[in-house]
Amino acid sequence: MTCNYIENYELKNHTTFKIGGLAQRVFFPETIEQLCELLQTLHNPLVLGNCSNVLVSSKGVEQDVILTSKLNKFEVANNIISAQCGVKVPMLSKEAESHSLSGFEFMIGFPGSVGGAVVMNASAHSQSVSDTFKTCRVFDMETKKILELNKDEMKFGYRHSILQEKNYILLDVKFELRPLAKEEITAVMQRNLDFRKDRQPSLVLPNAGSIFKNPPNDSAGRLLEKAGVKGLKEGGAQVWLGHANFIVNVENATSKDVSLLMNKMYNMVKEKYTIKLVPEVKFIGIKSKEEEDLWDTMLNQK
């Protein structure tokens, strides 16, 4: 194996929630070839990007972990941007701006990687990853082969792509953007940043973005606010006072604290509106029996 790894790595250092236990081995591939070699040889590894949409278990993870942060190369050719899976999206947004290319203005506001953004079909401010997506290469963990997928094959939907159905690992992507005057792009990016200022906690208060997905034709934040969850606390985790669909880690919160709080939020909306919210944040790693039950309720909509 040509890729170095770190043993007993504390995953909380890498997550925007600052929650997460130990991984026995964490690999940091620096080339796509190294990533593919790891995917060929490791048994069922867990691939993570910037860990901004995950709740990592405080008990840690059993599998080997691959973090994509060093797969950060990209290229701009005319209006096509090609990026490896570990490129940070705010950086890509700035790069597109500097080349007078429109389509990534929404990416300025959230701390994801290209891999996580494609998996989740990240979106905001009326733009989404699927708008500019052209093609990508994935590693199929079943056949151990590299596939090229076009936009139709990606089955993009709200916070959904085929990568959530199949065991595919995103290697790199090509996006097609639209030429536009730089001043117009800069103005939209600034507007997007201003919009977030009081509607989203900064990462000084560790968080993982929106906790629940919006139900059809409604807003999870609105329902949660009306249900009265703002300020509720469970251990070191608290529903942010500025917006009811965010949980902030105020004091050494654990994955159990967050899971309990999410369950309370889920039940309060269910009782008031008979609407069952669906978690947007993904639980990663070893679940205690209690966490198993809490997540079973939310994921199976009980």
Ligand X SMILES: Cc1cc2nc3c(=O)[nH]c(=O)nc-3n(C[C@H](O)[C@H](O)[C@H](O)COP(=O)(O)OP(=O)(O)OC[C@H]3O[C@@H](n4cnc5c(N)ncnc54)[C@H](O)[C@@H]3O)c2cc1C
The footprint of ligand X (CB under 6 A) covers: 16, 47-54, 68, 85, 109-113, 115-117, 119-120, 122-124, 163, 169-170, 200, 207-209, 282
Characterise 8 by phi-psi region: left (phi > 0), alpha (psi -120 to 50), beta (else).
left
Neighbours of 299 (CB within 10 A): 12
- Whether residue 117 contacts residue 85, with contact meaning beta carbons closer than 8 Å, is answered with no
Question: How long is the chain?
Answer: 302
- Whether residue 19 contacts residue 53, with contact meaning beta carbons closer than 8 Å, is answered with no
Closest approach, Cβ 35 to ligand X, in A, equals 8
Cβ distance to ligand X smaller for residue 53 or 102: 53
Burial code (b: 16+ CB inside 10 Å, e: under 16) for 133-144 equals bebbbbbebeee
Cβ distance to ligand X smaller for residue 210 or 270: 210
Alpha-carbon torsion 79, 82, 88, 89, what sign?
Answer: positive
Closest CA to 279 of 215, 232, 216, 223: 215
Closest approach, Cβ 302 to ligand X, in A, equals 23
Q: Quote the Cα angle for 59-112-75, to 5°.
A: 135
Closest approach, Cβ 71 to ligand X, in A, equals 8
Q: What is the DSSP letter of 157?
A: B
Closest approach, Cβ 239 to ligand X, in A, equals 15
Cβ distance to ligand X smaller for residue 16 or 102: 16
Cβ distance to ligand X smaller for residue 116 or 229: 116
CA distance 210 to 302: 21
Positions annotated as catalytic residues are 159, 210, 280
Closest approach, Cβ 148 to ligand X, in A, equals 15
First to last CA, the chain: 45
Closest approach, Cβ 256 to ligand X, in A, equals 19
Cβ distance to ligand X smaller for residue 104 or 110: 110
| Nearest residue (beta carbon) to ligand X | 116
- Whether residue 142 contacts residue 118, with contact meaning beta carbons closer than 8 Å, is answered with no
Cβ distance to ligand X smaller for residue 51 or 188: 51
